[in-house]
């Protein structure tokens, strides 16, 4: 029996270290080898995202391992997954900062906004954002409370729209 397992690393979702995704029964004589095919539909690589309430494909590498059992997997290959659709929740006025920080397109937009608005470097803007990572209140309220920085309604609307475009 040939078994195919998937291992993920670095994704934003917690997954088991190794998951059985397919198998193929093969009869072999001693010393004989044979090529087999085991198809893994992309849906089998998806994970449930509790934030969005949907099944999503995490971007990044997956390792495919094949062998006789989960403890004997001599063959391995790496594949890179590229999700076609958005995988992040929308960034709204009251979204906690951590969700913006874990959303690379939105994070880049907000970083650029801070650089321009506050005349700071990219590194300084990123440090400010990281300082807000553990806040449980909304993004803009957090900046007001932690740094005494107030943004106008027009600025907030503009940066939210830019983040929405970047994530789409």
The confidence score (pLDDT) of residue 29 equals 92
Determine the Cα–Cα distance for residues 3 and 24; give it in Å rounded to an integer.
Answer: 7
pLDDT at 85: 63
What does the angle CA 108 – CA 95 – CA 88 come to, to the nearest 5 degrees?
60
Average pLDDT of span 11-28: 89
- Residue spans of the domains in the chain: they are 2-81, 97-167
Which residues lie below 8 Å from residue 4, measured CB to CB, with a gap of 6+? Answer: 20, 21, 22, 23, 38, 40, 64, 65, 66
Asked if residue 3 has pLDDT above 70, the reply is: yes
Per-residue pLDDT tens digits for 63-94: 999 999 999 999 999 998 877 666 677 899 99
| Contact yes or no for 10/60 (Cβ under 8 A) | yes
- Flag whether the pTM goes above 0.95: no
If you classify domain 2-81 with CATH, what class do you get? mainly beta
pLDDT at 30: 93
């Amino acid at each position: 029996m040939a078994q195919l397992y998937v291992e993920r690393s670095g994704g934003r979702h917690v997954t088991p270290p190794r998951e059985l995704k397919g198998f193929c029964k093969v009869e072999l004589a001693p010393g004989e080898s044979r090529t087999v095919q085991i198809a893994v539909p992309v849906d089998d690589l998806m994970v449930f995202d509790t934030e969005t309430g949907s099944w999503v494909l995490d971007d990044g590498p997956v390792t495919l391992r094949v062998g006789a059992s989960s403890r004997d997997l001599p063959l391995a290959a790496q594949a890179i997954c590229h999700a076609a659709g958005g995988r992040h929740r929308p960034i709204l006025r009251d979204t906690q900062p951590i969700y913006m920080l874990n959303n690379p397109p939105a994070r880049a937009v907000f970083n650029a906004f801070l650089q321009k608005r506050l005349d700071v470097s990219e590194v300084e803007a990123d440090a400010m954002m990281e300082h807000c990572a553990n806040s449980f209140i909304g993004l803009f309220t957090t900046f007001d409370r932690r740094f005494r920085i107030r943004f106008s309604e027009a600025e907030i609307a503009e940066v939210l729209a830019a983040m929405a475009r970047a994530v789409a």
